Amino acid sequence: MRIPVPEVLLSAEELGRVHFIGMGGAGLSAIARIMARRGLPVTGSDDQDTPFLTGLRELGVTCHLGYDAAHLGEADTVVVTTAAREDNPEVLEARRRGLRILPRSAGLAAVMAGQRVLAVAGTHGKTTTTGLLTSSLVRAGLDPTYAVGGVLSATGRNADAGSDDVFVAEADESDGAFLVYRPYAAVVTNVQPDHLDNWGTEEAYREAFEQFVDTVDPAGFLVCVVDDEGAARLARYARGRGLAVVTVGESADADLRAVDVVLDGTRSACTVVRDGVELGRMELRIPGRHYVLDALAALAAGLRLGRPADELLAGLAEFAGTGRRMELKGEAAGVRVYDSYAHHPAEIAGDLAAARSVAGEGRVVVAYQPHLVSRTRLMGVEMGQALSAADEVVVMDVYVAREEPDPDVTGALVAGAVDLPADSVRFEPDNAAVPGLLAGIARPGDLVLTLGAGDVTQVGPKVLDLLVAGVDG
């Protein structure tokens, strides 16, 4: 459901007792955690028990399972997930009582109040770049507040409240949330049309990023990865508006360049050059050229804040990744199983390139779950083409999420576009059958990669269990 953003945004301290409807998700749990860490009264509910709720309970936050009007207690404000339905009993009770009702974006803006916000946006790479920036700033002596769309491996958390005035936040464009934050500075990794179910046209999507740039503090700055044409166009727009811009990439005209890029298994590296002068070698513990560019953008933001290059580089080197971004789930019977959130053709291509580097002599076996009917209708063929970089592909049916199913838009659309021999591509609409299918395909030395933004993340552990059972049997 869509909740309007109020004209006047209050600080978290002015919201009174806050109740979160849908607190188990990455977005709302991050806001709730920051509020709780600041000592503010917080409660919440969700219809699923998630790891995010476990962390909140450890802070003493009451987390209800299921939705009931009584859960609101003495709340003054409710923050509601976009996944909530109009007939949610807690939403209905909040309206009946005339409580302040906020969308996620306004809730996040409330905890940002009074902070120097560094907002990380882009079609892809937001979560990883936000994590990289947080890690590098911590190593460089800052204690920032942060809110990330995934769990940082180093902390086991997706958010925390720091003691400094810097707030590093993932800024989501999918529903226009990033237009609310009014950041001091911003990082844009790329601009490649997506979420057209909300924006309607590619042009409207690009214009939303221009509107986002317009919200950046004139005294602040923008970092853009100009290897991406959409971000390069945005950099030109920002400069035309008089905003300070730092461009990064492998491009010869970038202000901060990655040269001599090396992709070696699970690691990546490059030499960083600024205005023709080498700053040092950037070593990463995450695989893939796209992650090199994400790290370069994080480095540029840290440098622009005046932090030492050597300390920032050390922080990037320590970064161990985020959950669901080329995350190693385990190894069994000589097969490594990874999981990643990729659901856009460009993300699929990037993660498969990384997987190929990690796999070495082994094959790359992929299970892909398309996300959203609208995205699959528009990009299903491109998804299939990107999956052609694998050796074996299993395509699941569409994860419908917030939309209604369409019998004409299924995973078969994606599978039909994969350019591999027919016996190497399978469309399997029964999710329960996928782990066994993958375990049967995989052989020692292979890398199994589960891809998608839905519940495909549950497949990897089941594959590992089957592989272990096969060995024990």
473 residues of the chain, pLDDT tens digit each:
889 999 999 999 999 999 999 999 989 999 999 999 999 999 999 998 988 999 999 999 999 999 999 999 999 999 999 889 999 999 999 999 999 999 999 999 999 999 999 999 999 899 999 999 999 999 999 999 999 988 887 788 899 999 999 999 999 988 888 999 999 999 999 999 887 777 889 999 999 999 999 999 999 999 999 999 999 999 999 999 999 999 999 999 999 999 999 998 889 999 999 989 999 999 999 888 989 999 999 999 999 999 999 999 999 999 987 767 788 999 999 999 999 988 889 889 989 998 998 999 999 999 999 999 999 999 999 999 999 999 999 999 999 877 889 999 999 999 999 999 999 999 999 999 999 999 999 999 999 999 998 999 999 999 999 999 986 54
Burial class of residue 114 (count of CB atoms within 10 Å of its CB; 0-12, 13-18, 19+): exposed
β pairing state of 392-395 and 425-427: parallel
109 falls within a domain = no
Q: Distance between CA atoms of 447 and 352, rounded to whole angstroms? A: 11
The reply to whether 399 and 347 lie within a common domain is yes
User: Which CATH number belongs to the domain containing residue 459 in this structure?
Assistant: 3.90.190.20
Rg (the chain; Cα; Å): 22
| 383: containing domain | 327-472
The reply to whether 276 and 332 lie within a common domain is no
The helix-helix angle for 104-112 and 26-37 (nearest 10°) equals 30
4 falls within a domain = no
361 falls within a domain = yes
Q: Distance between CA atoms of 324 and 201, rounded to whole angstroms? A: 29
Find all residues with CB under 8 Å of 220, minimum gap 6, and list them.
Answer: 183, 184, 185, 186, 243, 244
Q: Which helix (H) or strand (E) holds 105?
A: helix 104-112
The reply to whether 427 and 279 lie within a common domain is no
Q: Distance between CA atoms of 435 and 433, rounded to whole angstroms? A: 6
The reply to whether 198 and 262 lie within a common domain is yes
The helix-helix angle for 373-387 and 345-359 (nearest 10°) equals 30
The reply to whether 280 and 360 lie within a common domain is no
3 falls within a domain = no
- The pTM for the full model equals 0.85
The residue among 104, 124, 146 that closes a domain is 104
5 falls within a domain = no
Q: Would you state the torsion angle of the CA atoms of residues 24, 27, 33, 38, taken in this order, to the nearest 10 degrees?
A: -150
Is the CB of residue 260 less than 8 Å from the CB of residue 271? yes
Domain count, the chain: 3
